[in-house]
A and B are shown apart, each in its own frame.
Chain A
Amino acid sequence: MKYVDEYRQAGHVEGVLAEIRKVVSRPWVLMEICGGQTHAIVRYGLDQLLPPEIELVHGPGCPVCVTPIRQIDRALAIAARPEVVFTSFGDMLRVPGTSSDLLSVRAAGADVRVVYSPLDALALAQANPDRQVVFFAIGFETTAPANAMCALQASRLGVDNFSLLVSHVRVPPAIDAILTAPENRVQGFLAAGHVSAVMGYWEYPPLAKRYGVPIVVTGFEPVDLAQGILMTVRMLEGGQTGVDNAYGRAVSFDGNRPAQAVIEQVFESCDRDWRGIGAIAGSGWRLRPAFARFDAELRFDVGSIVSKESEVCIAGQILRGLCKPTDCPAFGTACTPESPLGATMVSSEGACAAYYRYRLPTAEAALTGASRHG
């Protein structure tokens, strides 16, 4: 494919890797924020090609993994109602709540449908005026503009049988929380390219300054990732902090201002629980009061549901970059994609699922050994 293949070429990647090998002189711990980046790294085996000094740890940027169990349980309760058509991005169907998942609810008779865009869900509501169509509005800043636009459209068109179950999260407060944690090991960040395409990176300089870390906006193809790593390592080796952009072909400092305006119009900041991590103040978005009539939580009265997490897996430590999937005793044995113990194994963007699908046993052994020193 034109405009993509050139960023996957072995020669181009090797050129950047050679530069990284030249620049690096001691161990560094870098975190890629985004689940899409984690997957690309493991899928292309990029981490195998990096010099051993560089350890990549995987961040909390998998929206499916961090969606709080309470919201999943609410989704299950709403989806099970006979008048509801419950629409969702495909990934969410497998994520377990307290005792079920959307796949099971669908198998038991609920009308659960996968959509690619919230606007498809809105169209479904218009086409089925006798049904209640609900969209599971999850995700980071990447999916927020389309979800916000959907609420705006519903309001404009007066589509009263449509609502959103909102569980949005934001990247900068998560970076802040990771750097605040006393056990933090991360020395530099690869910021999420897609999120930055929407939000720009004007939110990052204060963070970089406060915690003295480099933050480099990074894309998703092997060349992009290698370039982001190179720029981060260069800053670390040079004792520099601050923000830089390795994904200039998609991201500007300001980002997509009209998209940010739509988000601002529809959503307001709120505290949000992150699955496996806990509450992070100001890390979520919810519908503003002006859009309350499109809030599925209010429409279906699901506030009293009690959720309970299991006490088994270490997804929390993985999502905060403290552990690797292979550090978990359950990985690949008790915990597999078909019978996941944790959200990181469930989601196709989750770090555990990426390791399970792409990692060879030999690489696993090498990597487990390498990560023990931390």
Chain B
Amino acid sequence: MADRQMTKPSISEGACCPLPLPHLSQIVLGHGSGGRMTQSLIESTFYPELGNPLLLQRDDSAVVELDDGSRWAFTTDAHIVSPLFFPGGDIGRLAVCGTVNDLAMVGAVPRWLSATFILEEGLLRSDLVRIVQSMKAAAEEAGVWLVAGDTKVAERGKCDRVFITTSGWGQIPAGRNVSGGQAQPGDVVIVSGTMGDHGVAVLAARGDLAFESDLPSDVAPLNGLVEAMFAAGSGIRVLRDPTRGGLTGALHAICQQSQVGIEIHELDVPIAPSVAAACEMLGFDPLYIANEGKLVAIVEPAQAPAILSAMRGHAYGAQARQIGTVTEADPGRLVLRTSIGSRRALEPMAGEMLPRIC
């Protein structure tokens, strides 16, 4: 112990750390995380080449105004999930609900969907039938028709059993103006229920993390809930479904788009006990975990009680809660009031969510 030596690095001596690895040359999984890496890929690759006023609205759906003055929403969503079937849902239900919800999040009434199936050679017919039946049930629940489709088969090993891409059209009733850029200081932030259920359910169903949970995914079409909310009050400024990137990703994007601050209270965010326990054990944060049947709404303060009450009267909003407010302070920043009363920043995930060592 006595002959210990320490090197003494300093900036001038040139010590210690590696040059950045920005993952510019190849795509890594983190680019699909829904976090900063996804954002930077979109900003650096897609927007410069493909950007136009509709794409650059940056909402869950593009909103198109036709010559007759009617407003329509158009969106698309690709789905890859392992396992294909998990408690509470499957890739088919996910594919329908994902697009229905993206339409509903701009205030549209979803009408028509298309679906593209990329099937891996060797996929069981019975699995495909099960997926398609599940899509039928979800479409009926959402009140949409699947009106066009395409099927391709990839060689074994070239895709993972089934990938499904859905696109959708829906009409926006007159008087609705919902966008991530509409949040105003003083507005109320509401979530429709518990956060993180879907991500934890899929993680558990995957089975490689050696934990079990009977928690079902929350995957659900939210257009009915959205209609119930509009029936209670028109003062709905922003709607988002916090999918990849979780609540943090969704709210942070709103802060950026509206250039406002948002402060949420840690203790007010509803989290199922089993999700909290799984996250505690695995080193994940439920505020970053994907949901597929929840929405976050930013509403005018005066109408918040009526809208909240309408949400609670709907099956998919029974646990709706106010979790925070939009602020003038800290524009562009999402702030968490912690359980012990301090304030800290909530930043979106960088890349892939990786479990911590200990």
Contacts and interface: CB of A to CB of B under 8 A. Distances in A.
Interface of A: 1, 4, 8-10, 13-14, 36, 42-46, 48-49, 63-64, 69, 89-94, 96-98, 100-101, 103-104, 106-108, 114, 116-117, 120, 138-139, 142-143, 173, 176-177, 180-181, 183, 194, 222, 275-282, 309-317, 334-344, 348-349, 356-361, 363
Contact of B341 (A10, A316, A359): A10
A286 to B, nearest CB: 18
Contact of A138 (B9, B338, B340, B357): B357
Given A63-B357, A104-B28, 5 more contacts: A91-B354, A139-B358, A279-B7, A338-B36, A360-B345
B274 to A, nearest CB: 10
B354 A93 contact: yes
Given A9-B339, A114-B355, A282 B1 contact: yes
B357 A89 contact: yes
B347 interface: yes
Interface of B: 1, 3-11, 14-23, 26-30, 36-37, 40, 208-210, 273, 276-277, 280, 282-283, 330, 333, 335, 338-347, 350-352, 354-358
B340 A100 contact: no
A103 to B, nearest CB: 5
Q: 6 closest pairs, A vs B, by CB? A: A45-B342, A278-B7, A311-B14, A90-B354, A342-B17, A337-B350
10 contacts: A1-B277, A13-B341, A44-B340, A103-B30, A180-B4, A222-B340, A317-B9, A341-B17, A349-B356, A357-B346
Contacts of A277: 6-7, 9, 16
A271 to B, nearest CB: 9
B28 A342 contact: no
A342 B21 contact: no
A4 B15 contact: no
Contacts of A10: 339-341
B44 to A, nearest CB: 12
Nearest to B351: A338
Given A114-B354, A360-B333, A310 B19 contact: yes
A106 to B, nearest CB: 7
Contacts of A358: 344-345, 347
A339 B44 CA distance: 15
Contact of B358 (A8, A142, A183, A310): A142
A135 to B, nearest CB: 13
Given A107-B29, A316-B9, A91 B21 contact: no
A90 B28 contact: no
Contacts of A120: 208, 210
A337 B36 contact: yes
A94 B354 contact: yes
Contacts of B14: 309, 311
A46 B18 contact: no
Contacts of A336: 36, 350
A313 B356 CA distance: 23
Most chain-B Cβ atoms within 10 A of its Cβ — which of A4, A14, A279, A309?
A309
B9 A4 contact: no
B16 A313 contact: yes
Nearest to B15: A316
Contacts of B10: 316-317
A103 B29 contact: yes
A49 B7 contact: no
B169 to A, nearest CB: 35
A71 to B, nearest CB: 13
A278 B27 CA distance: 33
A96 B21 CA distance: 7
Nearest to A48: B342
Contacts of A100: 21
A159 B311 CA distance: 57
Given A45-B342, A96-B19, A349 B5 contact: no
A338 B283 CA distance: 19
B21 A101 contact: yes
B355 A312 contact: no
A276 B350 contact: no
Contacts of A4: 280
A181 B358 contact: no
Contact of B352 (A92, A103, A176, A363): A103
Contact of A357 (B1, B209, B347): B347
Nearest to A310: B19
A329 B306 CA distance: 49
B70 to A, nearest CB: 41
Nearest to B24: A339
Contacts of A339: 20-22
A46 B338 CA distance: 10
A370 B229 CA distance: 48
Contacts of A117: 210
A328 to B, nearest CB: 9
